[in-house]
Amino acid sequence: MKMLITGGAGFIGSHLADLLIDSGYKVVVIDNLLNGRINNISHLLDNKNFNFYELDIINLEDIKPIFKDIDCVFHLAGMADIVPSIENPKEYYDCNVTGTFNVLEASRLAQVKKIVYAASSSSYGIPDNYPTKETSEIRPQYPYALTKYMGEELVMHWSKTYNIPAISLRLFNVYGPRSRTSGAYGAVFGVFLSQKIHNKPYTVVGDGTQTRDFTYVTDVAIAFLKAAESSATCIALNIGSGNHYSVNQLVGLLGGDVVYIPKRPGEPDCTFADTTRIHKVLNWKAKVSFVDGVGNMLRCLDDWKDAPVWEPDTIKNATAVWFKYLGDK
């Protein structure tokens, strides 16, 4: 079988490419390399079962020929981060909504047999209940979350209307090697690891008791493969670790000093996926423990040596728009 990964040079996509190659599949990757890195897939470039195309999903005519003879599409390409989505909502709409439309149209025209979409748990906003079920109300707090959910709605609509089997995987806080080391202020692991390298205190938001459903990237890649191989269709599934861990716990595992910065509006005190449905539908369960996952990250610490070093003042400046538009609501 021949599999296509949009965003396949990115963090999750490159791990999925490894898994698919190791599982005997032929793999095609499309990536514009704005967020993805060629280094993430350099070890695959000489593999006869792997092909890479530097293309942008915003351009339908450019990507259409690549979908010929593809059996399954994993749609992971997209723009992430909260603040840039508030500052540049059109760019996020173009990529996460129009780009998804283009991937779906290219898939439909090529008669692709299965689509697996990378959705975001940020679509839940600030849920009423934890662990959070797939039936929980959708409450996006910022354009990134909204556009990812709009992409999911497109995927489900194309699945129903054009009879294309599809599954949407709502990802909770994915972490692991190859996660992005540059760009906007964002994911806590990248921020903390750079601070550790440079012997800076960890900038903990609020009091650090907030918890996140940290889910290791190789477990997430396995979930994508199981979704592709499943007969299930037109369904959204949470991807989480089965537990949640405080930022203070993470700091304890990393070791080092802490400085506290103001809590940000629009962020939940907890993210915690109810994974009952995915265990039932795909027989999937996360296997990598939080302690082991953090240990793996520390062994890759040098990957963050050139990452931005965030300090309270630079974080304050970088998140000013966040407070301006999401505060006092």
Residues serving a catalytic function are 144
Q: Are 168 and 210 in contact (CB under 8 A)?
A: no
Task: Classify residue 144 by burial, with Cβ atoms within 10 Å: 0-12, 13-18, 19+.
Answer: buried
Residue 320: CA count within 13 A, CB half-sphere: 5
| CA separation, residue 146 to residues 3, 138, 184 (Å) | 28, 9, 19
Contacts of 73 (CB under 8 A, 6+ apart): 3, 4, 5, 6, 67, 103, 107, 112, 114, 115, 116
Whole-number Cα distances in Å, 3 to 40, 194, 196:
18, 34, 38
* Three-state secondary structure string covering 106-162: HHHHCCCCEEEEEEEHHHHCCCCCCCECCCCCCCCCCHHHHHHHHHHHHHHHHHHHH
Q: How far apart are CA 327 and CA 324, in angstroms?
A: 6
